Amino acid sequence: MGLEHALGDSAFTTTIDSAINWCRKNSVWPMPLGISCCGIEMMAFAMPRFDVSRFGAEVFRFSPRQSDLLIVAGTTTYKMATVVRKIYDQMPDPKWVVAMGACTSSGGMYRTYSVVQGIDQFLPVDVYVAGCPPRPDNLLHALIMIQEKIQRGESRSTPMTVAAERAEKQQLLQIQGINN
Amino acid sequence: MDIRQQKILAALENKDTSVHFDDALDNQMILNMGPQHPATHGVLRLLIKLDGETVVACVPELGYLHRGYEKLAENVSYHEFIPHTDRLDYLSPLMNNTAYVLAVEKLVGIEAPKRAQYIRTIISELARISSHLLGVGALAMDIGALTVFTWTFREREKMYDIFELLTGARFTTSFTRVGGIAHDMTPEVKTAITGFIDQFPEKFNDCIKMLNTNRIFVERLEGVGVISKEKAVAMGMCGPNIRGVGIEHDLRRKEPYLVYNELDFNIPVFYNGDSLSRYYVRVNEVKESIKIIRQCLEKIPDGPVHANEPKKVLPRKERVYTKMEELIHDFMLINFGVNPPVGEVYHAVEASKGELGFYIQSRGEGHPWRLKIRSPSFMNLQSTPLLVEGRMISDIVAILGSLDPVMGEADK
Amino acid sequence: MIQNVVQKLQEKFSPRIISVNEFRGEFTVVVKKEEIVSLCLFLRDHEECQFDYCSDLCGADAYTPENRFEVIYNLYSMSLNHRIRIKVFVDESSLHCPSVTSVWPGAEWPERETFDMYGIVFDGNNDMRRMYMPEEFEYYPLRKDFPMMGIPDSIPLPRK
């Protein structure tokens, strides 16, 4: 992801990798998309009792350009889906998505004409949180799972590892060599 | 540009405005305060036509949270709709449960026993306190006072503990049933509520002291978003917004339901019609709610919490598992529903945001033929263009905070 | 009280009132849709009625071959503290109904919502946009022949 791409693969860079990932995971800046009832539990998750700032994530920036975790909290309707997709596209790489609640995971209790049956129909989702609404402890567990994912260096938005990218470049060079 | 944008722009250009500028530069700009915004309470989209920083016209656009409740209601039975009412005004779910169940009971023609009514009153007032706490906290946060928001959430967490003890869920409770409530209130819950009520007024005063005499807060809200009495009534405003204009309209006094005609409480009314009066109405309503809960806890009688109507009220589970008749009634009620007579009712309740009404048309079947939710936030948001015209951009946030809309309700 | 109001209505508008019924203490007056504006003006201005607050305005689909749609007005009086319900039938062949925004400006948004859900156009309301569904949506959701789960691909979804 990002910086490590430029340096390539070696023992030196894997240590830098894990150091950078450690820094990244302990300062996740979430972008809350509090649409409906789950938004209230997300606010509670940021408040004194279920404090999220002990995990380094209390900086709720409402601007997508400055955040790396998108928490979609609340029922997503078809009208709102274009807005959510626009916000996701504006976030810089690497980014992660948490689908909070039953409504975002699968449409929830609303099997109606205007509710999208799960945001994974138009967004790549990393963690699904069950509940209607999920307790704030549940959302903290999701945040910890995201932190573990970051430590391992996985991100849905940058699908290729460094080795795969190098292999693809070699293939392209071979094809160009044949054409020449 | 697609059809919707064209129509909205046409509405913006054609709206009459009382604000005129003789500016040779004519630098009018249309700004989109989009559905995702830290200060619109939920997914509300405001299109604002600006001249410099002064708002010339404003068009709200709703529908980003339209979940199709009324279509759902035509397909599920009366009992199955109770969890859906939780998600309407999601800041005070117990109040919506009570409002819906009262409308269905009026249609069916039964009445819950006295103990159930007292418990419903207690939980409605607790829900009102919880909703106003968040309303005041969000208003303070939008103005810039972040600490008050964290303090009010701390108090709300204590209330969530009480709700969990009583109903089993923190937030979306679905506690009331047609003919009563789900289960009785244990003495443990009563001690918890008394403990909360004893320490709450002092903590609430701490929160309010930060704001009442704060010069920034008062100057940002005083004289902002003024509406006259006649306009407020004509536009259908309700709740603390209309009591902040000087009209003493409260359905708990005018059309008493539950046990409000046996209780002694005042209706706070302030006369200026600006955002500060609406804020004061909410603060005083919290204090009145505490009085109501204390009186209810003293006066609550013993007795059953389910009405004695076997064909309409869900029976107790332990009897369903042991006795034959209750098993049959349970089966009929769950599968075929409460079958009310053919007719229509409209029942309204004074919810924390205003007049929450349910209009139910029944054709004798187990599910309603038509269910309309009269949501207070929808009618309050209708007057946003009137309140915002002529003010600056930063006042829009203060005005929305003082109107306190909830989009789950306004969008149904 | 409310019986006086109903009596007065029957005296003044009598050939144009279709029926009056009472259920659980609430009165419903059914009128022809051409008379609705004059009836509402009478209800708002007359000293014994004073219905200055339009509580709710909604539509309903009775799914009958004639007079398929109904528009229901729930009115409330702030000063005299009584309620009344007015009902109007709209036939499927001419989906137009006069608008009461000249009587109560607060009826504008409920009328837009009724248009969005049923397709009844209110003449006189100069802001006939859809309320909840996107403007490009071609159907009217609350009609009884629209399926609850929706029609696939009726609203576009962004690609993954």
CB contact under 8 Å between A112 and C158, yes or no, is no
Residue B19 is predicted with a pLDDT of 62
Listed residue (A96, A150, A152) closest to A123, CA to CA: A96
**CB contact, 8 Å: C63 with chain A?**
no
- Say if residue B57 is in the same domain as residue B110: no
Show the domain range for B26: 3-61
B275 closest CA partner among B154, B124, B118, B396: B396
In a domain, B264, yes or no: yes
Contact A123/C at CB under 8 A: yes
> Residues of B numbered 83-122 whose beta carbons fall under 8 angstroms of chain C's beta carbons: which are they?
106-107, 109
CA dist B95 → A13, B256, B284, B380 (Å): 58, 15, 19, 18
Cβ separation C141–A114 shorter than 8 A: yes
In a domain, B245, yes or no: yes
Nearest to B358 by CA among B343, B376, B371, B339: B371
- Secondary structure (3-state) at A150: helix
Minimal Cβ distance to A85: which of C132, C146, C158: C158
Nearest to B42 by CA among B353, B274, B354: B353
Question: Positive or negative CA dihedral for B360, C68, C130, A115?
Answer: positive
* Contact status, residue B371 vs residue B365, Cβ threshold 8 Å: no
Q: What is the pLDDT of residues C25-44, one digit of tens each?
A: 888 989 888 888 888 888 88
pLDDT at C1 over 80: no
Q: Which helix (H) or strand (E) holds C26?
A: strand C26-31
DSSP conformation letters of A43-58? HHHTSSTT-SGGGT--
DSSP label of A115: B
Nearest CA in chain C to A85: C158
With an 8 Å Cβ cutoff, is C151 touching chain A? yes
Domains for chain A: give ranges and CATH numbers: 3-179 (3.40.50.12280)
| Residue B96 pLDDT | 92
Domain-located, residue C105: no
State the best of A45, A51, A112, A117 to mutate against chain B, taking most chain B CBs within 10 Å: A112
Is residue B68 in some structural domain? Answer: no
Helix (H, G, I), strand (E, B) or coil at A23: helix
What distance in Å separates residue C119's CA from the closest CA in chain A? 17
What residue in B sits closest to A82 (Cα-Cα)? B64
Q: Write out residues 225-254 of B within 8 Å (CB-CB) of C.
A: 231, 233-237, 247, 249, 254
The ipTM estimated for the assembled molecules is: 0.93
Residues B30 and B175 in one domain: no
Chain A CB within 8 Å of residue C80 CB: no
Q: Do B180 and B55 sit in the same domain of this protein? A: no
pLDDT, one tens digit for every residue, chain A (180 residues): 556 556 666 666 777 888 888 888 888 899 888 888 888 888 888 888 888 888 888 888 788 898 889 999 999 999 899 999 999 999 888 889 999 999 899 988 899 988 999 888 898 898 999 988 899 988 999 999 989 888 887 777 654 455 556 666 788 888 887 766
Distance from CA of B89 to the nearest CA of A (A): 9
> Is-contact A61 A40, C-beta < 8 A?
no
Q: What is the Cα A64 distance to its own chain's centre?
A: 12
φ/ψ region of B253 (left if φ > 0, alpha if ψ in -120 to 50, else beta) reads alpha
Cβ pair C126, C65 in contact under 8 A: no
**What are the φ and ψ backbone dihedral angles of C59, each rounded to 5 degrees?**
-115, 165
Q: ∠ CA(B328), CA(B331), CA(B332), 5° rounding?
A: 85
The reply to whether B25 and B115 lie within a common domain is: no
**CA torsion A136→A139→A144→A145, rounded to 10°?**
160
Q: Residue C9 falls within a domain, yes or no?
A: yes
Residue B67 lies in a domain: no
Indicate whether C121 belongs to any domain.
Answer: no
Tell me the residue range of the domain where C68 lies.
2-94
Residue numbers of B between 62 and 81 with CB closer than 8 Å to C? 62-63, 66, 68, 70-72, 74-75
CB B407 within 8 A of CB B42: yes
Total domain count for chain C? 1
Q: Coil, helix or strand for A151?
A: helix
Interface with chain A: mutation pick from B32, B69, B171, highest number of A CBs within 10 Å: B171
Exposure class string for B277-312: b at 16+ Cβ within 10 A, else e: bbbbbbbbbbbbbbebbbbbeeebeeeebbbebbeb
* Residue C116 in domain: no
User: Looking at chain C, which subunits does it touch, using at least 3 CB pairs closer than 8 Å as the criterion?
Assistant: A, B
Q: What is the mean pLDDT of chain C?
A: 87
Query: Residue B23 has what pLDDT?
Result: 57
From B64's Cα to the closest Cα of chain C, the distance in A is 7
The Cα of B93 is separated from the nearest Cα of chain A by a number of Å equal to 10
Task: Compare C150 and B118 and report the one with higher pLDDT.
Answer: B118
B331 touches chain A (CB under 8 A): no
Residues in A touching C146 (Cβ below 8 Å): 113
Judge whether C143 lies within some domain.
no
Contact A114 C132 (CB under 8 A): yes
pLDDT computed for residue C63 by the predictor: 87
Q: Treating both helix axes as pointing N-terminal to C-terminal, what angle do B114-143 and B393-403 enclose, rounded to 10 degrees?
A: 170
| Co-location of B162 and B309 in the same domain | yes
User: According to the model, what pLDDT value does residue B204 have?
Assistant: 92
Q: By the CB < 8 Å criterion, does C53 face chain B?
A: yes
Side-chain-side CA neighbours of residue A156 (13 Å)? 16
State CA B139 to chain mean position distance. 16
Q: Is residue C56 part of a domain?
A: yes
User: Is the domain of B287 the same as that of B400?
Assistant: yes
CATH number of the domain that residue B105 is part of: 1.10.645.10
Contact between C141 and A113 using a beta-carbon 8 Å cutoff: yes
> CA nearest C78: which of C103, C49, C53?
C53
In a domain, C113, yes or no: no
Choosing among B3, B32, B36, which should be mutated to test the A contact, i.e. which has the most A CBs within 10 A?
B36
Name the residue type at position B234.
A
Q: Which of A114, A122, A157 to mutate to test the interface with C (most CBs of C within 10 A)?
A: A114
Number of domains in chain B: 2
Q: Rounded to whole angstroms, what are the CA distances from B219 to B223, B224, B274, B401? A: 8, 9, 12, 15
Question: Closest by alpha carbon to B367, among B391, B333, B400, B399?
Answer: B333
Residues in A closer than 8 angstroms to C151, CB to CB, are 113
Q: What is the pLDDT of residue B192?
A: 92
Domain harbouring C42, CATH code: 3.30.460.80
Same domain, B37 and B166: no
Kindly list the averaged pLDDT for each block of 10 residues, start to end, along chain B of length 412: 77 69 66 80 88 87 90 90 90 92 91 91 93 92 88 91 90 88 90 93 89 89 89 90 90 89 90 90 93 92 85 81 86 84 92 92 90 92 90 89 90 86
C70 in any annotated domain: yes
